[in-house]
Amino acid sequence: LASALETSELVVLDLLEAALDADLVHDLGGDRFRFGHALVRDSAYAELAPSRRERMHAAVAEILGTANADRAPEVARHWAAAGDRFVHRAWRAAAHAGQVAMGAYAAEEAVGHYSSALDLLERDGEATPRQRWDLLVGYAEACRWSTRLLEAAAAIDEAIAIADQLGEPAMVVGAATVAADGAVWPVRDYGVVSTEVVAAMRRALEQLPRDDSEVRCRLLLLLAGELFYDGRPAEIDALFEDSLSMARRLGDRRLLISVLTYGFSVRWRRATIADREQMAAEAIELAREHGDVRSELLARFLLASVHFGLGTVKGLE
């Protein structure tokens, strides 16, 4: 309070005396105070003129952001209430609060922060498409882990469209990977093929050099995944084989695990069950060597699905 009012703490205590005497504010000790009732708080807040209110929110946001790194949600709320002059700081603060929430495994809370950031970004005339792409990817990740799969899919598709417009294949991959990473079944709803996303991925492949690269490797596999319900098993298999061969040549164990596990979902049909059993087994071995517990769990789940399909329990222990 003293910092926000640009005065001393003793002056603030003097200012609070009248409210304390009238029982409108309670002194909790340790320089902590609270309003006696929510109606008192709301009435005091309503007395502030809009311009003064916005300035006070900006001042408090600045103070909290400097002194308290763990109060990201409060900082975001104050910047959001500070008016259009600070909207550029407001959406960034909301995005940071979303990142903090995801780091604490609070995906549902992160969804709210990223949603707020996207709304605030719309009011920032200097915001760029790349900045919107960043927010959409963060929002999609939060939606995925809070099981808001429809919202996640819509955000991913918009992010892919932005990447396509910018001519950035790596951004196409970055957006599409949100749903594909760790997937245990096709990422689209049953029977759905997004012709816009397929076209964007094909354009991205044309833009990339034909040399081996992680971006091209992942893009080949992601395109195969988008074609899952398009009735093109031969093209899907060819794209997967190209991706797998490239991953092996690149020698990136993490990438190879990713190709094997998502490739399992991409090739999920009866005719490939023997291949998929080998893919899951190889992924388990690689994950163990790499100490990647999450990938090992995923691969073991995929292997179990093979044995259920075969009607056996061999290898499930």
> Range with the lowest mean pLDDT among 144-158, 279-293, 298-312?
298-312
Q: Is a pLDDT exceeding 90 seen at residue 68? A: no
**pLDDT, averaged across the chain:** 94
pLDDT over 90 percentage in the chain: 91
Q: Is a pLDDT exceeding 90 seen at residue 265? A: yes
Task: Compute the C-alpha angle 89/90/96, nearest 5°.
Answer: 90
pLDDT of residue 10: 95
Q: Is a pLDDT exceeding 70 seen at residue 316? A: no
* Residue 4 CB neighbour total at 10 angstroms: 17
The residue type found at 189 is D
Per-residue CA distances from 294 to 27, 236, 283, 297 (Å): 49, 26, 11, 5
Look at residues 161, 166, 192, 195 and name the one whose alpha carbon lies nearest to residue 176.
161
pLDDT of residue 314: 65
Q: Could you tell me which residues come within 8 angstroms of residue 142 by beta carbon, excluding any fewer than 6 positions away?
A: 98, 101, 102, 107, 108, 110, 111, 113, 114
Could you give the CA distance from residue 213 to residue 225 in angstroms, rounded to a whole number? 19
Q: Indicate the pTM of the whole model.
A: 0.90
Q: For 2-51, what is each residue's pLDDT tens digit?
A: 998 899 999 999 999 999 999 999 999 999 999 999 999 999 999 999 99
